[in-house]
């Protein structure tokens, strides 16, 4: 291995080690933030689900209303023909 590649490997290893020591030193802070992020994502998912449930109920009500209108128009057509 050439001296240049060894120095390059040394610098990369040192940078990795420094980065890892920062992560290790702040592990609890990082974990706390990841928990907060997960809580926020869970809250957003809960809100999204509530919105979808409401939209589904509205669609079901609209479908029922359309069915009632169809029955009404069919009865009117039968009366007109009969």
d(CA 28, CA 34): 10
Q: What pLDDT sits at residue 13? A: 82
Q: What pLDDT sits at residue 12? A: 86
Q: What pLDDT sits at residue 5? A: 86
d(CA 65, CA 77): 18
Which of 45, 21, 23 lies closest to 34, judged by CA? 23
d(CA 44, CA 61): 26
Give the model's confidence band at 69: pLDDT under 50 very low, under 70 low, under 90 confident, else very high. very high
Please give the mean pLDDT across all residues of the chain: 92
pLDDT cut 70: percent of the chain above it: 99
Q: What pLDDT, in 10s, does the model give residues 24-46? A: 888 999 999 999 999 999 999 99
d(CA 32, CA 30): 5
């Amino acid at each position: 291995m050439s001296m240049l590649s060894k120095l390059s490997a040394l610098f990369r290893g040192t940078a990795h080690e420094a980065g890892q020591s920062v992560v290790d030193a702040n592990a609890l802070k990082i974990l706390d933030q990841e928990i907060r992020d997960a809580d926020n994502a869970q809250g957003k998912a809960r809100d999204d689900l509530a919105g979808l449930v409401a939209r589904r109920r509205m669609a079901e009500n609209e479908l029922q209303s359309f069915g009632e209108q169809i029955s009404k128009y069919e009865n009117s057509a039968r009366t007109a023909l009969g």
